[in-house]
Structure 1
Amino acid sequence: MPPIRIGLAGTGRIGAVHAETLTTLPGVEAVVVADADAARARSTADKLGVEFAPDIEALLAANLTGLVITTATDSHPALITAAVDRGIPVFCEKPIAADILGTLVVIDRLAGSPVPVQIGFQRRFDAGYRAARTAVTSGDLGWVHTLRATTLDPAPPPAEYIPRSGGVFRDCGVHDFDIIRWVTGREVVEVYATGANRGDRFFSAAGDVDTAAVILRLDDGALATVSLTRYNGAGYDVRLEVLGSLGNAVVGLDDRSPLHSVEPGYPPSSLPAYPGFLDRFHPAYTAELATFVGVATGRMPNPCPPADALEAFYIAEACELSRHTARPVPLAEVRR
């Protein structure tokens, strides 16, 4: 087997973390980084002792085994197609594109290509979510009637990020939508979503909300709720409760969960709450990238193809429409 060389486009916060993770993976012999901000890419390369490419063209020409994309969303379509056209397998952080139409254009362009494109939904690689999925598929829970998911950020992202984030459903809730599909093996057929703004004005100025509540109806009649907020001061709280006729499974309930019981005799945990997603999901991100190396080298099947990302995006799109129209929205209404 030729040397495994993984390129990385985009050395911002998540990109720098991924670059460092790639250097620790067995079998990866070289990591090559590039960024629109060449100075930032060079700084990352020097810090990690990896190769530097002065621009994307140089990166794509660096004899890569695979490419990891962590750049801004609007650059994803061109980078994905440029890599695939050169026969380079791709890992791309969600989303594929900024909207459904752009996503469909990329998927149509990839149709028939043998080059794999893996989309980043790291919760699929988290041990708790994987255990919940096993509990559902094994029948241990009986028939599932209710799911409750939360993604509660401790503090909002920078104000300048919000106008280009796609909104709380596409940027934040999409992870919950994907994992509910993945854990249950069911499809969402209808959504009802609402939102509120009680925090910084830059959310409403961008047409977004800082807190949201969603009800999902699945194709087998099960109901799911999703709670989202940018202002959970107690800490980063990401959980999933799966309730069935015979039992339940709870993901994300541990000594670092930012939950404080006020019942007598239940002292708070002595461990600090999770401060953010990088800390909470570090093992999952590592497993996800290790899987991508396996996909890129032909040793593993693609665990999250673009079609899966599209399904989660459809749910987010329906939520946004529901919020604006104050009514339930069938998924069929937003499918194209």
Structure 2
Amino acid sequence: MSDVILGLVGVGRIGVMHANNIVALKDTLARRGVNIRLMLTDVATDHARSVAAGLGAEFVPSVGELLESGIDGLVIATGTATHPELIRAGVDAGIPVFCEKPVALNVADALPVLDYIRENNGVVQIGHQRRFDAGYVEARRAYQAGELGWIHSLRAVTCDMAPPPIAFLATSGGLFRDCSVHDFDILRWLTGREIVEVYAKGSNNGDPGIGEAGDVDTALALITFDDGTVGTVSASRYNGAGHDVRLEVQGSTGSVMVGLDEKTAVSSAEHGVTFPQGNPHQTFAERFDQAYRSEMVAFVELVMGERGNPCTPEDAVAASRVADAAQESLASGVAVKVALKVSS
């Protein structure tokens, strides 16, 4: 049996989730002759030690020691501002890197990172977990198989039950960058086309502090693809019915909707219709639990050389460019062309 040792940096909410998912792979990978091991570190050493002990993982005092320990892959789950430095460190160590989105705080800061990865033959997978969600995968398959005909409309929705702390929103870059970037990525991935123009509007009817922090609590973007196809991307911080993530793909011969199941956070106004009857998802972690697990399986397979990169840094930066254009349109009130260049 061969060992695959993953090193993880950052044990906040998303880092703990990834750590749990890595450890949970043990039995599955053992059947493939692989022994998965986890080593982790965080500047919050006491918390990191506790997490490691609870998972049967190994705590390492620093990132430098983690990279020198012989790990086969690096998982980055720290704050966005630290991503460029840690990505470069992983590339310098000559190992595959998994990094939560985005690559950097903004596109300008991300471009030198892309150059560095390319110049040093780095392998970096960015965490856009929706690419591993069964519904999105099926919608993409149906479209590519010709079952929907040509697409005439796309409608993407991402709504949280309640907003995160104002302190987070003040540094998130805005609703489109923080939230809708996932929709922009999945729309590019599903259609295989580029988004070339965005026109956005937003509103603030909830906590005034969100507006004071420079953000909106609800927004809508009209997007245009390079073949002229149109779509909408909507997002909200206030969706008390539940965490609602859906995508409607309407084609000339068929239509599909991702996220339409017993836990969909909507109710029918039609007489006698009781669907859906399940309890709605409460958070993104619950909604995409299996997708996050599958994403980490993909990274392990990438580390083992068994698959290609399912989400490149170039993919992530392309989605961020659309989010930037949406934020610019939101501020200016006019449609904004999306810059398609992805290198500095």
TM over 0.5: yes
Which residue, out of 177, 181, 189, partners 2:188? 181
Q: In the TM superposition, what is the alpha-carbon distance from 1:199 to its structure 2 partner?
A: 1.2
1: distance between equivalents of 2:65 and 2:171?
Answer: 28
1: distance between equivalents of 2:35 and 2:330?
Answer: 45
1: distance between equivalents of 2:121 and 2:227?
Answer: 34
2: distance between equivalents of 1:62 and 1:30?
Answer: 12
Alignment of 1:1-336 (within 5 A): 3-25=3-25, 26=29, 27-267=34-274, 269-332=276-339
Whether contact under 8 Å (2:100, 2:126) holds in the other structure is yes
2: distance between equivalents of 1:123 and 1:333?
Answer: 22
Q: In the TM superposition, what is the alpha-carbon distance from 1:2 to its structure 2 partner?
A: 5.0
The code of the aligned residue for 1:141 comes to: L
| Distance of aligned partners of 1:137 and 1:171 in 2 relative to their CA distance in 1, 3 Å threshold | same
Partner SS for 1:195 = strand
Question: Could you report, residue by residue, the CA deviation over 1:274-313 in whole angstroms, capped at 9, with x for unpaired residues?
Answer: 0111111111101100000111121110011100001000
1: distance between equivalents of 2:281 and 2:326?
Answer: 28
The code of the aligned residue for 1:4 comes to: V
2: distance between equivalents of 1:73 and 1:333?
Answer: 22
1: distance between equivalents of 2:166 and 2:151?
Answer: 39
2: distance between equivalents of 1:38 and 1:121?
Answer: 28
The code of the aligned residue for 2:250 comes to: L
The code of the aligned residue for 2:24 comes to: T
Whether contact under 8 Å (1:22, 1:28) holds in the other structure is no
Which range is displaced more, 202-211 or 64-73? 202-211
Which range is displaced more, 35-44 or 145-154? 35-44
Q: In the TM superposition, what is the alpha-carbon distance from 1:333 to its structure 2 partner?
A: 8.6
The code of the aligned residue for 2:260 comes to: L
Extract unaligned runs of 5+ from structure 2.
none
Which range is displaced more, 8-17 or 268-277? 268-277
The code of the aligned residue for 2:136 comes to: Y
Q: In the TM superposition, what is the alpha-carbon distance from 1:28 to its structure 2 partner?
A: 4.4
Question: Could you report, residue by residue, the CA deviation over 1:146-191 in whole angstroms, capped at 9, with x for unpaired residues?
Answer: 0000001001112221112121111100000000001111110110
2: distance between equivalents of 1:328 and 1:39?
Answer: 49
Q: Percent identity?
A: 48
The code of the aligned residue for 2:7 comes to: G
Query: TM-score, normalized by length of structure 2?
Result: 0.95
1: distance between equivalents of 2:341 and 2:326?
Answer: 10
The code of the aligned residue for 1:15 comes to: G
Q: In the TM superposition, what is the alpha-carbon distance from 1:257 to its structure 2 partner?
A: 0.4
2: distance between equivalents of 1:227 and 1:64?
Answer: 41
Question: Could you report, residue by residue, the CA deviation over 1:208-258 in whole angstroms, capped at 9, with x for unpaired residues?
Answer: 111100010001111110110000000000000000110111100000001
Q: Report how many aligned residue pairs link the two structures.
A: 336
2: distance between equivalents of 1:205 and 1:76?
Answer: 27
Q: In the TM superposition, what is the alpha-carbon distance from 1:114 to its structure 2 partner?
A: 2.9
1: distance between equivalents of 2:146 and 2:277?
Answer: 36
Kindly report the root-mean-square deviation, in angstroms, between the aligned alpha carbons of the 2 structures.
1.4
Query: TM-score, normalized by length of structure 1?
Result: 0.97
Whether contact under 8 Å (1:94, 1:120) holds in the other structure is yes
Q: In the TM superposition, what is the alpha-carbon distance from 1:268 to its structure 2 partner?
A: 5.0
Which range is displaced more, 108-117 or 86-95? 108-117
Partner SS for 1:111 = helix
Q: In the TM superposition, what is the alpha-carbon distance from 1:202 to its structure 2 partner?
A: 2.5
2: distance between equivalents of 1:298 and 1:152?
Answer: 36
Q: In the TM superposition, what is the alpha-carbon distance from 1:262 to its structure 2 partner?
A: 1.5
Whether contact under 8 Å (1:116, 1:296) holds in the other structure is no
